[in-house]
Amino acid sequence: MPLIDPVVLVHGGAGDIPAERVEGKLVGVKRAVRIGYEKLSTTGCVLDAVEEAVRSMELDPFFNAGYGSVLTTEMEVEMEASIMNGATLQAGCCSLVKDIMHPVSLARRVMKTPHNFLAGNGVMQFAKEEGFDILSPPGQLVTDYAREALEEWKEGQRRGEIEFARTEIGSSNKYNKAEVGTVGAVAIDANGNIAVATSTGGITGKLPGRVGDTPLVGAGTYADNRVGGVSTTGHGETIMKYCLAHDILKRIDFLGENAQVATENACKEMTEKLTGTAGAITIDSHGQVGVSFTSQRMAWAYTKGSTVAYGIEQNQHLEEALQI
């Protein structure tokens, strides 16, 4: 089998992203993809690459993951993440994670257990046993922006207006701080090994205990060396009903669509059928890239060779030299 050009591809969440957040998100995804690519070049491990790329976005308040996560109706951060190895189909998933800076690393640690998924009190106990730093006092991940978003969402509720954070149907809602979204990364090495990781704080105004698509294998994350890898973002309730990540890979596998066409068609058909919008990033087994979204905006970036490609608007494709 001929060697493949290694690729690292990331997204920073799809949704009604306000104009004032665009530049910060572009800076963040370009930083993440460089970090992931450097890690892949150094260790040769695609799991390391996607974990590090996502960790960088979990530290960035411009993203809805880790520090920057949105709030539940009870003013708390409840996060979830997943990671998957395309060589073995081994997965690690976690949900209802609190006061941990890097849920993606906790998800990867779950891969050590006999299980795929840990949540709630169980995953928090596991995190303590594994030596994760539990932030104390609680609430250190709550940002001023997240507080403002929840207050705007609550004001919309009081006025009886659209439940933007729970429906994420279009781009006309005035409560623009209530953006949904996720962060994710997909990587392939020269030998065709693929890994995917996804992390999120969920949706503004979610009920405590809500679980979205991000930690669900086949919905938010999927990796299979035979076909490719996908990370999704957008309205979780819609994505999980459509099994968006799995649908994209099955289009590649059974319909012979390339990564870009499969990603476009799956996102479009999902939105046509179920209304909710979303986006996805894909790398197929040949190292070809797919990026598409039906939301207003989605920040994305990938590096292949000496170039970083990136964008956030529909049909936008910018490039600059890779600097590591």
Judge whether 286 is annotated as a binding position.
Answer: no
Judge whether 236 is annotated as a binding position.
Answer: yes
| Residue among 42, 43, 88, 182 flagged as catalytic | 182
Classify each residue of 140-168 as buried b or exposed e, where b means 16 or more C-beta atoms within 10 Å of its C-beta.
ebbbebbeebbbbbeebeeeeebbbbbbb
Helix (H, G, I), strand (E, B) or coil at 1: coil
State which H helix or E strand residue 188 sits in.
strand 183-188
CB contact at 8 A, 92 and 107: yes
CA distance 2 to 104: 32
Helices marked H in the chain: 22-43, 46-58, 103-110, 120-129, 144-158, 164-167, 236-242, 244-250, 259-274
Judge whether 235 is annotated as a binding position.
Answer: yes
CA distance 178 to 165: 6
Residue 206 has what DSSP assignment? B
Judge whether 160 is annotated as a binding position.
Answer: no
CA-closest candidate to residue 80, choices 250, 281, 217, 205: 217
Q: 222: which residues sit within 8 A by CB, 6+ positions away? A: 84, 196, 229, 230, 245, 246, 249
Burial class (CB in 10 A: 0-12, 13-18, 19+), 119: middle
Judge whether 213 is annotated as a binding position.
Answer: yes
Judge whether 210 is annotated as a binding position.
Answer: yes
CA distance 146 to 204: 8
Could you confirm whether 182 is annotated as catalytic?
yes
Judge whether 186 is annotated as a binding position.
Answer: no
Judge whether 212 is annotated as a binding position.
Answer: yes
Half-sphere exposure of 9 (CA within 13 A, CB side): 29
Binding residues: 210-213, 233-236
* Catalytic site positions: 182
Known binding residues for substrate are: 210-213, 233-236
